[in-house]
Amino acid sequence: MDEATGIVEKGLPSASFDKGRDEEIRVRVQEFRGKAYIDCRVFYTDEQGEQRPSKKGLCLPVTFLTDFVKALADVQKQLEEQDEARE
């Protein structure tokens, strides 16, 4: 991957979704020093109209992916339970 442009190397998994105001959140697999990481990062559009990675984000070894997804699911469930309790 090219760090200046945020372009992921061909073949490595990635996904993104809109954050609003010319920003998006990208979730991608990156390799660094021979190890694979999950990088969740905010990208913004610069003055030239190009997407650039910001410093806002989280980078975890891929070995944490299952635990991270479970933690997100747990938080989602708690939020849903709070919403149901308010109704």
Under the banding of pLDDT at 50, 70 and 90, the label for residue 11 is low
**What CATH number belongs to 14-62?**
2.30.31.10
**Dist. CA 48–CA 58, nearest whole Å:** 26
Tokens representing residue 28 in the block: 């991608």
pLDDT surpassing 60 at residue 34: yes
pTM for this model (two decimals): 0.73
Decide if 27 contacts 40 (C-beta within 8 A): yes
